[in-house]
Amino acid sequence: MRLHEAESPNARRVWVFMKEKGIDIERVPVDIRAGENLTPEYRAKNPMGRVPVLELDDGRFLAESVAICRYLESLHPAPTLFGEDEWEMASIEMWNRRAEINFAMNAASAFRNITGFFKDRETCVPEWGQVCAEEAKSQLGVFEEQLAKSDYLAGDRFSIADISMGVFYGFAGMIEKMAQVDFELDRPNLKRWYELVSKRSSFS
Ligand SMILES: N[C@@H](CCC(=O)N[C@@H](CS)C(=O)NCC(=O)O)C(=O)O
């Protein structure tokens, strides 16, 4: 297997996941700034033109970070990062979706629209970026409340939900500087949780 990737938060989710599992595979760098991910050759691997993409030994390609992680979890079930019983699996899914849809997507849209980082390939609307930044900030309140109740997002076990949220919470610190926005990241429970999560060797 090979991972087509770039220095980017979604690829980082897969690296953290692989490190947690002790999986080491070949990595193929894709220069997303130069648009290598937009070529017909790359789109044959992933029609969405995004990284990361996992290339299987039989020549099939799998995109979407969490789909890749699910595949790797099936190959390497222990330690589980998607949960064990029905409730835990569903809770992890719920928090992972919230991390992705409610926080990460809004933070990433703020970044893309305000900085114009990918303006060579998409229309950027800075005002929309500001709306997304406000939404990301307001959604953080839900995570702050949840983390007052448990060590990790979906309970007492570190999971894919913590990987998704941890990677994008870290990225949000960089977005604040680049896009001059304030997500109010510095909230007591989120801060305590991020210190715990980012101490893991997988996050280094
Ligand atoms: N839903 C996808 C999102 C992938 C994604 O947006 N990747 C970004 C890097 S974090 C990318 O490839 N950006 C290049 C571009 O937009 O041209 C996933 O979870 O893998």
- HSE of 164, CA atoms in CB hemisphere, 13 A: 29
Level-2 CATH architecture, domain 2-75: 3-Layer(aba) Sandwich (3.40)
Distance CA 115, CA 125 (A): 10
This prediction has a pTM of 0.98
Answer whether 9 contacts ligand 1 (Cβ < 6 A): yes
Answer whether 121 contacts ligand 1 (Cβ < 6 A): yes
86-203 CATH: 1.20.1050.10
Nearest CA to ligand 1 atom 11: 50
Answer whether 53 contacts ligand 1 (Cβ < 6 A): no
Residues 149-189: pLDDT tens digits?
A: 999 999 999 999 999 999 999 999 999 999 999 999 999 99
Q: Show Cβ contacts of residue 87 under 8 Å, excluding neighbours closer than 6 positions.
A: none
Q: Where are the domains of the chain?
A: 2-75, 86-203
Residues 69-81: pLDDT tens digits?
A: 999 999 999 999 9
Does residue 100 contact residue 5 with C-beta atoms inside 8 Å? no
